[in-house]
Structure 1
């Protein structure tokens, strides 16, 4: 076998240094730390699920509307003291805005190295989450607005239906504040604006512990014609 062929073969093999032994266990074996009632068994694999997507529709950098399987590792996870959070500062809860008038959404983030967004048409989910030299997740923030009909609505909106969406590509003001203009505003209605903080390749950010504050925020507001 030629040297190039050997190197190519080695590059597609799981390194022993990357093998995580926890994947071989369900988490429900007798004596396992953290066991509790109502827990489900984890799926198991002795090779890091390296071939989990074999024979399935691969994501392969695309946004596959009919569903797909992505075999890319989750990647590097920050320390708990560097977990991400976000809060929408404008519009505020219950704010009333003029219809069809440009306004701005502002988002204060914490511990996000913002301004890094990969090509969503060709590299969607195609690389692991990564950290910068200081241990912060490198990524960006999306913002989406949905019409919900009532400030007290209890109906979960259809995620395929939204009136505004934007990925914020820039790094903000250097202190975590991000801005997203909504050109031309919105028609009269009741809306929900939400953040979706993501790593560089658009995957939701992965945090180090389960019990934590949320990394995203939503706010409900009103848009109306005439005097408000």
Structure 2
């Protein structure tokens, strides 16, 4: 197994061209646009938080279950016209599927340049989000299925307890349609299937404005005991 041995760093100083002066402000200074009641003060730093993770457990390309700190920049953010959205087209809301029978989860995406998934064991969160030449996020979509009590359940599922997870590595049909097969299906029960759209290095995609439609979707469905 190849092991990377780092060379002496060539550029460890923050370039003046990369300095974002907004990071020095809490957002609650008198006269600041957008202030509102109930807002929290932003943490501040005069150097882009370049050393925020110093002295802490670093993510360093790994999935650190006990928590870590990741110092990689968020990266390039698309224009509003290129924001991502997704909707699960199969199974549909309330659909009843056959128990223990293979089925597909199909997802129609918008503005995602799919087919880009980096090694999750070695480069997890290890590079910034990036855009293609047309300004679309290069990334992929995960599908996760969790069991829930019933179609109207109000109990938030335990995120560590799921019955199916798949990262869709391919580019889909070229028109935004992605597919994930669930081999052998699922046992009888009620389930929630959700998308998790990510940039190349598995970080949730970052969008340019706060007020927007969601980039992910969930659907609830039922698996029967051998009957529709």
The TM-score, its normalising length taken from structure 1, stands at 0.96
Tell me, what secondary structure is at the counterpart of 1:22?
Answer: helix
Q: Count matched residues.
A: 222
Aligned to 1:211: 211
Alpha-carbon distance, 1:9 to partner: 5.6
Aligned pairs (5 A) from 1:182-197: 182-197=182-197
CA distance in 2, matches of 1:227, 1:31: 64
Q: What do residues 152-205 of structure 1 show as CA deviations (whole Å, max 9, x unaligned)?
A: 000000000000000000000000000000000000000000000000000000
CA distance in 2, matches of 1:87, 1:188: 24
Give 5+ residue unaligned stretches, structure 1.
1-7
Q: What do residues 19-47 of structure 1 show as CA deviations (whole Å, max 9, x unaligned)?
A: 00000000000000100100000000000
Alpha-carbon distance, 1:227 to partner: 2.1
Q: What do residues 207-226 of structure 1 show as CA deviations (whole Å, max 9, x unaligned)?
A: 00000000000000000113
CA distance in 2, matches of 1:76, 1:85: 18
CA distance in 2, matches of 1:145, 1:226: 20
Aligned to 2:221: 221
Alpha-carbon distance, 1:149 to partner: 1.6
Q: What do residues 48-85 of structure 1 show as CA deviations (whole Å, max 9, x unaligned)?
A: 00000000000000000000000000000000000000
Tell me, what secondary structure is at the counterpart of 1:81?
Answer: helix
The TM-score, its normalising length taken from structure 2, stands at 0.96
CA distance in 1, matches of 2:13, 2:179: 43
Aligned residues: CA RMSD:
1.0
Aligned to 1:67: 67
Give 5+ residue unaligned stretches, structure 2.
1-7
- The reply to whether residue 127 of structure 1 matches residue 127 of structure 2 is yes
Tell me, what secondary structure is at the counterpart of 1:23?
Answer: helix
CA distance in 2, matches of 1:181, 1:87: 17
- The reply to whether residue 116 of structure 1 matches residue 92 of structure 2 is no
